[in-house]
Chain A
Amino acid sequence: MSDENKKSGWFSRLKAGLSRSSSKLGDGIGSIFTKRKLDDESIEELEELLITSDLGVATSARLAANLAKTRFDKDVDPLEVRESLAAEIEKILEPVALPLEPDGTKAPHIILMVGVNGSGKTTTIGKLASHYKARGLKVMMAAGDTFRAAAIEQLQIWGERTGCPVVAKETGSDAAGLAYEAIERARSEKADVLLIDTAGRLHNKSDLMAELQKVLRVIRKLDATAPHDIVLVLDATTGQNALSQIGTFKELIDITGLVVTKLDGSARGGILVALAEKYSLPVHAIGVGETAEDLRPFTARDFSRSLMGLGNS
């Protein structure tokens, strides 16, 4: 990301990925505020527009009201509105934009991936492994989704692609036991990073959440400070239920951060703003495409500007 070329390349990818929501928001704001004053009606329309991006009722209302406070009854041009909203959203997101950096002194730095079914845990692990490997770290993965058919094979294929070893047992075996073995092996092979996959589970299933708590207990038998990161993988197309999802995972297993996937294409991503407001959990990375390069650190400015359909100025 230090390289300027690379940065603009990434930004355009993010923008292309978010193009649907951003062009929709941008166009929408354009049609509301062209040759019009900021009045009650246009504020309400703006609020609705923001709601359609999954920002949620409360956040949308607040953003629109903030805008009204400073510019009510004045002529505003659409670009100004977009700039102003982007700045507001950036302010909300800035504190949560923290990359997932393995701590070299931990050896292995243990990262546990959790989330509901189909959010993209296994794919995210594969992508992260590829990143860390490219940085010269020794990475190991643990196929802890012992429930879903072929989840282990899926991670093993990622193992082949990235050249990282995968610790696996057969489907149906105990996930906690597998995590234990994986940590022992990562220690003996002196891995820098250990990425542990888990089976997808809905947060309202108490038995499955208890199983996850057991995995944590077992990991902590080996290392009381582990897992060093407990990352919830969230599908960006998820609506307001994301709030309840994260609330429950936070309460029961104390997740430390988020990776938001599938922000490309049809996803809207406004939910990220609502989440940042409510939980202030770090957002480590966002996924905007299928390749490993499409999983990137989350930057508040890039995200908020592309959400509003603005250039990277």
Chain B
Amino acid sequence: MFDSLQERLGSVFDKLKRRGALSEADVTAALREVRVALLEADVALPVVKDFVEKVKVEAVGQNVLKSVTPGQMVIKIVNDQLSAMLGADHVGLNLQVTPPAVIMMVGLQGSGKTTSTAKISKRLTEKERKKVLMASLDVRRPAAQEQLRVLGEQIAVRTLNIVPGEQPVAIAKRAVQTAALEGFDVVMLDTAGRLAIDEELMAEVAAVRDAAKPAETLLVADAMTGQDAVNVADTFNQKVGLTGIVMTRMDGDARGGATLSMRAVTGCPIKLMGVGEKLDELEDFHPSRVASRILGMGDIVSLVEKASENFELEEAEKLAAKIQKGKFDLNDLGSQLKQMQKMGGLSSLMNMLPGMNAGQMKKLKDAKLDDSIIKRQLAILSSMTPLEREKPEVIKAKRRTRIAGGSGTSVQEVNKLLKQHQEAARMMKKVQKMGKKGMMRGGLQNLMPPGMGGFPK
């Protein structure tokens, strides 16, 4: 969803993390990159400026220089600010009014109002057991009313019958009356797309609001929107008064800066997001999760949880002892592979890892790493004799052929694994020289076998 921004910030923080101490100049340099990254992610300039300023103040106040891991410190501050900007927590739809609760959908042309109207109606009907009536007030775009009617049929939600020539305010009134008379819980009003500067149409939607008194007025906005997001959101908020935002096309590859901008400028929570073309592809918006993702901290929390759940202490100690002796045989490689498999395989680990820079991400993608590699390598290892695993140097041509046959792989693959092991062993020796501290600092990068789990340098 926000992959590009994630990669970008990832590369910024990569630089930070590789330094022992962090000077104030470093913070400024990092924030300059954060600023460009946010701008390229379409976060509006005033919002970016505000954000960077806040982070700077925070970072200086917290005495970054003295903190143990300066890079993480900055990440945390940036993340906290970003989360704060996106809103504290998920806010749901407010339907706590005397029924029928009216939800009015507004937005620019082509932002996805009609589809979102249907998605929300489906959700309220199926998940919250509400009786929903939908009405299209779009008398401008050809076949817009028809579009909502067809969607209504698909999701089995009633639409107000279409009276040709009826004007939006009249349709809204009729919808609310019909709903009140027939005991509907919710009325969804899908308005026509309009430009924020079109005074006439903004007046029309304000008139609809006055007639229907919506409990929720939701701005439907495209996650791909550029710098103009602030103006759109601000104008709609001022002219109509918004209670929430629905972001659409969050399944695209846009960096989604508009999300931040709109939230910041209106103060309205982002309540829902569209994540696909199908009518059930609508999700709650969780600000903190989105902020973490933007920063490439991904699911660092879940990663740590998973790691501690799966990493068996005993084995870890065994490994550590062996490394101390400068020994790293194929059994150790095998147990590492198994650990990785337990943690959900490469792909899930990659997604959770913070601080991967753009280049690394791309290399990984290009390498088309998949988890079947781990499986095959484990098969190769289990086709070896205990002696072979302990003393890989005894594995010569004949043994290789046997192992390949036994594991259903090829000699080339066996060779590759052995080479990987050699490299890993060499690294382990280095680690040993650096001492235990060095290994800790090297972190995950050194713990993974190079050439596969290890990050391409």
From A19, A53, A153, A240, give the contact of B143 (CB < 8 A). A153
CB distance from A40 to the nearest CB of B (A): 14
Interchain CB contact under 8 A, B146 and A51: no
In the assembled complex, the Cα of A149 lies from the Cα of B140 at a distance in Å of: 17
Contacts of B226 in A (CB 8 A): 54, 237-242, 268, 271
In the assembled complex, the Cα of A221 lies from the Cα of B144 at a distance in Å of: 35
From A116, A150, A151, A266, give the contact of B232 (CB < 8 A). A266
Contacts of A262 in B (CB 8 A): 108-110
Interchain CB contact under 8 A, B222 and A118: yes
* Stretch of B164-172, B250-258, B299-307, B365-373 that contacts chain A: B250-258
Q: 8 new A-B pairs (CB below 8 Å) besides A154-B143, A244-B254? A: A19-B197, A51-B45, A54-B227, A126-B142, A149-B150, A235-B110, A239-B257, A244-B253
In the assembled complex, the Cα of A290 lies from the Cα of B147 at a distance in Å of: 19
In the assembled complex, the Cα of A271 lies from the Cα of B255 at a distance in Å of: 15
Interchain CB contact under 8 A, A117 and B249: yes
- Knowing A53-B227, A149-B154, the reply to whether A116 touches B249 (Cβ < 8 A) is yes
Interchain CB contact under 8 A, B252 and A51: no
Interchain CB contact under 8 A, A157 and B224: no
From A205, A242, A264, A267, give the contact of B228 (CB < 8 A). A267
- Segment 398-413 of B: residues with Cβ below 8 Å from A: none
* Stretch of B36-44, B207-215, B347-355, B428-436 that contacts chain A: B36-44
Contacts of B224 in A (CB 8 A): 116, 235, 238-239, 241-242, 245
As a 0/1 sequence over residues 147 to 178 of chain A, the CB contacts with chain B under 8 angstroms (1 = contact) are: 11111011011100000000000010000000
A202 CB–B CB distance under 8 Å: yes
Closest residue of chain A to B150 (Cβ to Cβ) is A149
Interchain CB contact under 8 A, B45 and A265: no
As a 0/1 sequence over residues 120 to 141 of chain A, the CB contacts with chain B under 8 angstroms (1 = contact) are: 1001001000000000000000
- Knowing A20-B231, A54-B227, A266-B232, the reply to whether A202 touches B249 (Cβ < 8 A) is yes
| Size of interface on B: residues with Cβ below 8 Å to A | 48
Contacts of B227 in A (CB 8 A): 51-54, 239, 268, 270
Contacts of A158 in B (CB 8 A): 142
Interchain CB contact under 8 A, B45 and A150: no
B314 CB–A CB distance under 8 Å: no
Interchain CB contact under 8 A, A120 and B252: no
A39 CB–B CB distance under 8 Å: no
In the assembled complex, the Cα of A87 lies from the Cα of B99 at a distance in Å of: 59
A-B CB pair tally, cutoff 8 Å: 138
Max chain A C-beta neighbours (<10 A), residue from B42, B225, B226, B254: B226
In the assembled complex, the Cα of A203 lies from the Cα of B146 at a distance in Å of: 27
In the assembled complex, the Cα of A120 lies from the Cα of B141 at a distance in Å of: 11
- Segment 229-255 of B: residues with Cβ below 8 Å from A: 229, 231-232, 235, 249, 251-255
In the assembled complex, the Cα of A172 lies from the Cα of B129 at a distance in Å of: 29
Interchain CB contact under 8 A, B197 and A52: no
A254 CB–B CB distance under 8 Å: no
Interchain CB contact under 8 A, A117 and B258: no
Max chain B C-beta neighbours (<10 A), residue from A52, A53, A158, A264: A52
Interchain CB contact under 8 A, A48 and B45: yes
Q: Which 5 A-B pairs have the closest CB atoms?
A: A239-B226, A118-B110, A265-B195, A239-B42, A150-B147
Interchain CB contact under 8 A, B253 and A119: no
A66 CB–B CB distance under 8 Å: no
In the assembled complex, the Cα of A265 lies from the Cα of B235 at a distance in Å of: 12
Interchain CB contact under 8 A, B253 and A203: yes
Interchain CB contact under 8 A, B253 and A51: no
Give 15 A-B contacts (CB < 8 Å), ordered by A residue.
Answer: A19-B197, A20-B231, A52-B227, A117-B112, A118-B110, A126-B142, A147-B277, A153-B143, A205-B251, A238-B222, A239-B227, A240-B41, A265-B195, A266-B231, A267-B228
Closest residue of chain B to A267 (Cβ to Cβ) is B228
Interchain CB contact under 8 A, B228 and A117: no
Contacts of B45 in A (CB 8 A): 48, 51-52
- Segment 1-36 of B: residues with Cβ below 8 Å from A: 4, 36
In the assembled complex, the Cα of A205 lies from the Cα of B252 at a distance in Å of: 8
CB distance from A174 to the nearest CB of B (A): 17
In the assembled complex, the Cα of A52 lies from the Cα of B227 at a distance in Å of: 6
Interchain CB contact under 8 A, B228 and A266: yes
Closest residue of chain B to A268 (Cβ to Cβ) is B228
Contacts of B108 in A (CB 8 A): 237, 262, 266
Contacts of A54 in B (CB 8 A): 226-228
CB distance from A25 to the nearest CB of B (A): 12
- Knowing A118-B110, A154-B141, A203-B253, the reply to whether A241 touches B150 (Cβ < 8 A) is no
Interchain CB contact under 8 A, B39 and A265: no
Contacts of A237 in B (CB 8 A): 108, 222, 225-226, 228, 232
B157 CB–A CB distance under 8 Å: no
Max chain B C-beta neighbours (<10 A), residue from A19, A120, A262: A262
A57 CB–B CB distance under 8 Å: yes
From B44, B142, B196, give the contact of A157 (CB < 8 A). B142
Closest residue of chain B to A54 (Cβ to Cβ) is B226
